Amino acid sequence: MQFSKWQGLGNDFVLIDDLNNEIADPGVLGQQLCDRHFGIGADGLLLIRSSAVADFYMLIINSDGTIAEMCGNATRCFAKHLRKYGYTDKTTISLETPAGIMITEVLADGRVRVDLGAPQYRDDSIGVAIVVEGREFIVNDISMGNPHCVIFTDDAETIDLTYWGSRIETHPLFPQKTNVEFVKVIDRNNLRMRVWERGCGITLACGTGSAAALVAAALTDNSEKTATINLDGGQLELEWATDGHIFKTGPAVEVFRGELTIESYQV
C-alpha cells in the first residue's frame, strides 16, 4: 500500500488512498502509522474516500486513533495531494468532512486557500472564567466544526503546554474535550499562537485553531478581522470575510512517499 507524508507548517500527516473503503479499522491503523517510534510518525492519518456530495471525502484520524471532525492544515495537504497525483485537475476542490463541505483552492504560488465556513459561538461562551487546579483562565469557546478554547495571555511562549493544555482539554465545560490555543496579541494584525490539539497533544500549527483565535480576537476587539497567525511552524493568513466565513491561506508540502509493509499493520 502506497502512502505519502505531508506537512502544513509542521503539522504532519500520513495520506493513503482508500477510495474502495478497504481499510476496516482506520483508528487502529492511525495509531500505528502515527507512532513516531514504531510507525511513520505523524499528527494524523488522512484517508481519501469517495463522496456523493463533494469531489472527495476526507477522513481524519488523530494520532490517538480518534476521528477529527475537521483539520485546516490537513485540508491544505489533502487538496495538494489530489492535484499532484492526478485525482483531479480542478484548482477548486470540494471536500466532505464530518464538519461539512470545505472548499479548497490551490493557488498558483503553491499555497492553498480554504473556506472553513462560519464560526459557531454564543455570546455567553466568550470571556468565560474557569478554574483549573486553582488557576483562573478566561476562555473563549468557539467551534470551527471542531471545538476550540482560545485563551489570551502574555505567557504564550513559555506556558507549559502539556500540563495546562491537557487539563483544560478535559475540563467539564468541554464534554467532547477541546483543542486549546494560547494566544498573545502582538498588534491588531498579528497574533502569536501555540496549541494543544485534542487527540494529538502539542502540534506546530493548527488551522482551525488559528481561525478560532482570529474570531476570539476580533470579538474581544484585540484584532482586525484580517490577521497573520504566527505559529511554531510558521505563518497562516486568516480573514473573517463579510459573508461570515473564515478563509485560511498557507503552505502544504510533501515530505516523502513510501510503501507500507502490510503485514506489519492492522488494515
Q: Which three cell numbers stand for residue 95?
A: 471536500
Q: Is 77 a catalytic residue?
A: no
Chain CA centroid to CA 204, Å: 10
* Catalytic pick among 77, 149, 200, 206: 206
Q: What's the rounded Cα separation, in Å, for the pair 253 and 12?
A: 9
Q: Is 206 a catalytic residue?
A: yes
Report yes or no: 120 and 126 within 8 Å, Cβ to Cβ.
no
* Catalytic pick among 71, 77, 149, 200: 71
3-state secondary structure of 172: coil
Q: What's the rounded Cα separation, in Å, for the pair 104 and 92?
A: 6
Beta bridge partners of 239: 226, 247
Sequence letter at residue 239: E
Q: What is the largest CA-CA distance in the chain?
A: 55
Tell me which residues are annotated as active site. Answer: 71, 206
